[in-house]
Structure 1
Amino acid sequence: MRNAFLFLALLSLPVSAAPATFTVVSSKTDLNLMTVESQTAVENFTGRTSSVSGKLTFDPVASVGSGSVTVNGASITTGVPPRDGHMRGAEWLNFDKTPAVKFETLSVKRLTGDIYEVRGNLTLNDVTKAVVTRATVKYTPASPAIKALGITGNALAVSTSFPIKLSDYNVKNPRIDQGQVSNTLTVSLKFIASS
């Protein structure tokens, strides 16, 4: 009888797991994508790259996490090589000099289901600004299906989207004032990390 009470007491204890470290699967470029969109009355374009790296910690039981993700801005392509070259130059995003676009979390709060509020710092063109966004974070334990994708261990799929103002990151260009490029860009990021 005593063992039965002990067993019931153990069942009533909260279940917890230690946070695991997840590394962005940089080698699987088909799993990662960052896009940046500019929409104006004059010209619309979308820049894309799969050059994403970083490390995160996540506890699927407690629904808490943190991390740092870096995108190689110099690898962003828009489908128009001259525009890509201009974008990398000092008169625009300065990726030739400072290619790293880095996001570091300050706090992560679960809102509901797989939806989290993420507060962090975004560094672009050597300028760091606070960003608040919502992210979808889906945890999948290791399985044959995950392994078939070339992912070893547990998987963490993260996606988010948020606006940024170029002027906040010291990007000033007459084409923004002329309405050819929007001062506000939409950044979207999707990636897979594994533990």
Structure 2
Amino acid sequence: MKTILKSYFLLAILFGAKVFAQTFVVDTKDARNQAQFVSDAPFEKINGLVSGLDATVMINSKDITQKPMGKVKVAITSIKTGIDLRDEHLRSEMWLNSGKYPYAEFQLTGIKNQSSKTLTDGQKVKATLLGKFSVHGVTKDIEVPATLTYFKESEKTKARTPGNLLVANASFNIKLSDYGVKIPDMVVGKVNEEVQITTNFVASDKNAVSDNLCGTCGPNKNENKFNPCSVKKTETKNNPCNPCAVKKDMKKDNPCNPCAMKKSDKKENPCSPKKK
């Protein structure tokens, strides 16, 4: 009994953060999830929209500072400013070079300065998101002021999308030169060196694969490379949740491994009769 309790305690330490975390995923087909940018120069103001926002956030609603993780990504090719020729220029090699660097991405690594550590139904939480922002092949550490709001599933929230929801609104500024983007002399005064970026999205835990440690065969399995049922499973050989991992036979104590001993006794196991 002591051995069992000791093992359970160790597992709680190792996996506690993920056990209590919820995974929220954006519906990429919902055009209301988007990013905007503004360049306010002396001779011209440019308002741009980037659609097709993709985001996944893992966060502990009881303590949002406890190892939050996430990624928000937009396609540079989807930039729209209202002038087609200008859009082509922004995507060109002279500017953002979408052919070589097709995405802009923010990777969440931490949270600080939060107005509350807990997410409660309908309460807005202001916080500073810590992470890495990448664009034009350059990655830099940044801090992003944001507002997070959690909504439990209800008839009202279902009108937007099923599931418990995480609504995120964030805004931050970047300098183009910090990311290797040089403003051509011909447009000096028309493009500001500093650009404001704003993101707004609604993510749902129903879009996530699963709340268990590894995530088994959820509805979006083919979109999640860490899902054992994913079509990309062979690309993640070092993923301990992957049944095709090269060392799968060495992970007998991994409850998410279908090759583990007593797999049928473990409800988290994708081979278990109780899988979702």
**Taking structure 1 as the reference length, what is the TM-score of the superposition?**
0.86
1:176–1:182 contact (8 Å) kept in structure 2:
no
Equivalence map 1:52-131=2 (5 Å): 52-64=53-65, 65-113=68-116, 114-131=125-142
Structure 1 partner of 2:143: 132
Q: 1:175 to 1:154 in 2, by over 3 A?
A: farther
2:183–2:193 contact (8 Å) kept in structure 1:
no
Which one of the candidate residues 158, 161, 169 is aligned to 1:147?
Answer: 158
Structure 1 partner of 2:45: 44
Q: 1:108 to 1:79 in 2, by over 3 A?
A: same
> Which amino acid is 2:152 matched to?
P
CA offset at residue 178 of structure 1? 2.3
CA offset at residue 109 of structure 1? 2.3
Aligned-pair identity (%): 31
Question: 1:175 and 1:137 mapped to 2: Cα distance?
Answer: 40
CA offset at residue 176 of structure 1? 7.9
Q: 1:76 to 1:145 in 2, by over 3 A?
A: same
Q: Counterpart of 1:112 in 2: which secondary structure?
A: coil
Question: 2:149 and 2:159 mapped to 1: Cα distance?
Answer: 18
CA offset at residue 49 of structure 1? 2.0
2:29–2:52 contact (8 Å) kept in structure 1:
no
CA offset at residue 28 of structure 1? 1.5
Q: Which runs of 5+ in 2 are unaligned?
A: 1-16, 117-124, 206-276
Q: Counterpart of 2:29 in 1: which secondary structure?
A: coil
Residues 61-89 of structure 1: CA deviation (Å, up to 9, x unaligned): 22333211101111010000000000000
> Which amino acid is 2:20 matched to?
A
CA offset at residue 172 of structure 1? 1.0
CA offset at residue 183 of structure 1? 0.8
Q: Counterpart of 1:70 in 2: which secondary structure?
A: strand
Please identify the structure whose Cα radius of gyration is greater: 2
Q: Counterpart of 2:174 in 1: which secondary structure?
A: strand
CA offset at residue 110 of structure 1? 5.0
Q: Over aligned residues, Cα RMSD in angstroms?
A: 1.8
CA offset at residue 152 of structure 1? 1.8
Write 1 or 2 for the structure with the bigger share of strand.
1
Equivalent residues, number: 178
Q: 1:177 to 1:88 in 2, by over 3 A?
A: closer
Q: Counterpart of 1:86 in 2: which secondary structure?
A: helix
CA offset at residue 46 of structure 1? 0.6
1:66–1:108 contact (8 Å) kept in structure 2:
no
CA offset at residue 54 of structure 1? 2.0
1:183 aligns with 2:193: yes
Comparing 17-26 with 86-95, greater Cα deviation is found at 17-26
CA offset at residue 36 of structure 1? 0.8
Q: Which fold has the larger relative contact order, with Cα–Cα distance below 8 Å and residues 6 or more apart in sequence?
A: 1
1:71–1:101 contact (8 Å) kept in structure 2:
yes
**Taking structure 2 as the reference length, what is the TM-score of the superposition?**
0.61
CA offset at residue 93 of structure 1? 1.1
Divergent runs of 4+, >4 A: none
Q: Counterpart of 1:180 in 2: which secondary structure?
A: coil
